[in-house]
Amino acid sequence: MSALGLLYYWVFAALLMIGFYAVVAKQNLIKKLIGLSLFQAAVFLLYITMGKVIGGTAPIFQEGVEGLVFSNPLPQVLILTAIVVGISTTALGLGIVVRIKEEYGTIEEDEIQESDHL
Amino acid sequence: MIIVFGIFLITMLVITAIATVRSENLFVAVMLLGIFSLLIAANFFILDAADVALTEAAVGAGISTVLFLGALALTNENERSRQGMRWLSVAVVAVAMLVLIYATFDKPAFGDPNAPVQQHVAPWYLEQTPELIDIPNVVTAVLGSYRGYDTLGEVFVVLTAGIGVMFLLSAGPTVGGPTLKRMPKNAGIGLRHHPIPRVVGRLLVPFILLFGLYVQFHGEYGPGGGFQAGAIIAAGFILYALVEGESRTLKALPQSALTGLMVGGALLYGAVGLTGILLGSSFLDYSVLASDPVTGQQIGILLIEAGVGMAVTGVLLSIFHAFAAREMI
């Protein structure tokens, strides 16, 4: 049970590192942003996992039903807003990538650095 | 049973994430990222976060995919296969992974009701909400009222990002570079020559918008609220733009209206906060908005959720149009 109890955290660590790998190892700027999205999603998963209570349900009261156990609403609120903020900042990143492509003619990081040093 | 399903879902998540990063065709990677979002939304749902699942499904699987595709259309579809520091990156990532896994051994077990995170303010929110605010959805109560400051900040971050994208993409390249070509008037006719997506798309759009409004105004009673509704309504208009073309969508909902929505939504939220001060209480205290404090809270949450919905719809659609209006140089 203890291994199973930590499984979600390990999946979080795996997803976080897959996203991190894309950010540090890939040269393509769009691929880096995809990696950043994966990284972000891993953090969302960690928060939601921590708010879960065994045997709980979504924190919405139902009329005539007593004695329900609710999962923690606070991490859900934080992540709910973070998702929308995340897409806005990703869009900003994509906008910058599009402008880089127009100015440099490429979105590969090493090629951009080469043309900067010329 | 639910445990088996959960393990299946997280296994799929990891596989999809690896495939996303490995794929050298960026179009494939973006599609896989959409699938990843849908899978993680299902995960959120079985972890009791219905509101978050709804948001992730609308934003991650819908709008994010469209924005990435819009950026791909303006750049390159293929990643140049890379050489160089690969093993150094693998080593750094592996070490970080081991540190993270070592750290998880101190974490409370999954779903432990006595974990520190469950002992802080959450029980207070769950106990006091029926008395102080009296709406069934505690997530909406925390989002709109208890944590109103946070949400106001997030709305302004979203607004700022939207303004940033519009600044970046409405400007032309620097002097001496190639001149910016705007989309010609008859371009972007969408899928008008494909009858099946067109008919299905046109049939779906009104229902998506109706569902968006339902999610907006039912947010106090079930999963939903301004963030989800804004994303769903924006997705409906994006679908319309995909099947009918940009120009028709901009005729239905012009850019000036979108700018009005995004600024107006943020200002509505701020104005509700200031009304609290004017009526002799503190910023974002809704209790004074009506003679009965509970009704005041409900009115306040309804108003700020409307502001959030307007701002999110306006920002997401403005970002979409900013990408769609630009042509590859």
Q: What are A27-49's pLDDT values in tens digits?
A: 899 999 999 999 999 999 999 99
Q: What is the mean pLDDT of residues B151-155?
A: 93
- B110 vs A23: CA distance, rounded Å: 29
State residue B246's pLDDT score.
Answer: 83
State residue B177's pLDDT score.
Answer: 47
Domain containing B310 equals: 140-329
Q: Is the domain of B148 the same as that of B33?
A: no
Q: Which residue, among B162, B156, B154, B312, has the nearest Cα to B237 in the 3D structure?
A: B312
Q: What is the mean pLDDT of residues B170-188?
A: 54
pLDDT at B173 over 70: no
pLDDT level of residue A22 (50, 70, 90 thresholds): very high
Q: What is the mean pLDDT of residues B31-41?
A: 95
pLDDT level of residue B244 (50, 70, 90 thresholds): confident
The residue among B65, B133, B165 with the most chain A CBs within 10 A of its CB, best to mutate, is B165
Q: What is the mean pLDDT of residues B140-150?
A: 90
Minimal C-alpha gap between A116 and chain B (Å) = 16
Look at chain B and report how many structural domains it folds into: 2
pLDDT at B189 over 70: no
Mean pLDDT taken over chain B = 87
State residue A69's pLDDT score.
Answer: 86
Give B 216-275 residues with CB within 8 A of chain A. 221-223, 225, 227-228, 230-231
Q: Is the domain of B157 the same as that of B305?
A: yes
Classify A108 as helix, strand or coil.
strand
State residue B30's pLDDT score.
Answer: 95
Residues of A in contact with B150 (CB under 8 A): 77-78, 81
pLDDT at B180 over 90: no
At A85, the amino acid letter reads V
pLDDT at B174 over 60: no
H/E element, A51: helix A29-51
Give per-residue pLDDT as tens, B284-302.
Answer: 889 888 888 899 999 999 9
Q: Which residue, among B79, B94, B39, has the nearest Cα to B61 in the 3D structure?
A: B39
Binary contact (B104, A6; C-beta < 8 A): yes
Q: Is the domain of B101 the same as that of B145?
A: no
Q: Is the domain of B21 the same as that of B89?
A: yes
Residues of B in contact with A2 (CB under 8 A): 109
pLDDT at B214 over 70: yes
Q: What is the mean pLDDT of residues A54-80?
A: 87
Q: Which residue, among B80, B57, B110, has the nearest Cα to A111 in the 3D structure?
A: B80
Mean pLDDT taken over chain A = 89
Please identify, in words, the CATH class of the domain defined by A2-54+70-117. Answer: mainly alpha
Residue B22 forms part of a structural domain = yes
Q: Is the domain of B72 the same as that of B184?
A: no
Residue B222 forms part of a structural domain = yes
Contact of B142 with chain A, judged by CB distance below 8 Å, is answered with yes
Give per-residue pLDDT as tens, B76-130.
Answer: 888 877 666 788 999 999 999 999 999 988 888 888 888 888 888 888 888 888 8
State residue B60's pLDDT score.
Answer: 87
Q: Is the domain of B197 the same as that of B62?
A: no
Give B 276-295 residues with CB within 8 A of chain A. none
What is this structure's pTM?
Answer: 0.90
Residue B123 forms part of a structural domain = no
**What is the share, in percent, of chain B residues with pLDDT greater than 70?**
91
Classify B106 as helix, strand or coil.
coil
Annotated domain spans of chain A: 2-54+70-117
Q: Is the domain of B184 the same as that of B240?
A: yes
Residue B98 forms part of a structural domain = yes
Alpha helices in B171-285 (DSSP H): 195-217, 226-244, 246-252, 255-278
Q: Is the domain of B164 the same as that of B266?
A: yes
Q: Is the domain of B98 the same as that of B149?
A: no
First to last CA, chain B: 53
**How far is C-alpha B209 from the chain's CA centre?**
16
Give per-residue pLDDT as tens, B48-78.
Answer: 999 999 999 999 888 999 999 999 988 888 8
Minimal C-alpha gap between A114 and chain B (Å) = 15
State residue A1's pLDDT score.
Answer: 44
Q: Is the domain of B86 the same as that of B234?
A: no
Residue B122 forms part of a structural domain = no
Q: Is the domain of B103 the same as that of B146?
A: no
Residues of A in contact with B315 (CB under 8 A): 88
Residues of B in contact with A60 (CB under 8 A): 50, 136-139, 221-223
Please, are residues B262 and B148 in contact by the beta-carbon 8 Å criterion? no
Residue B283 forms part of a structural domain = yes
Q: Is the domain of B211 the same as that of B312?
A: yes
In this complex, the residue of B80, B312, B329 whose CB is nearest that of residue A84 is: B312
State residue B130's pLDDT score.
Answer: 87
What is the sign of the dihedral through the CA atoms of B303, B305, B308 and B313?
A: negative
| Residue that terminates a domain, selected from B88, B107, B126 | B107
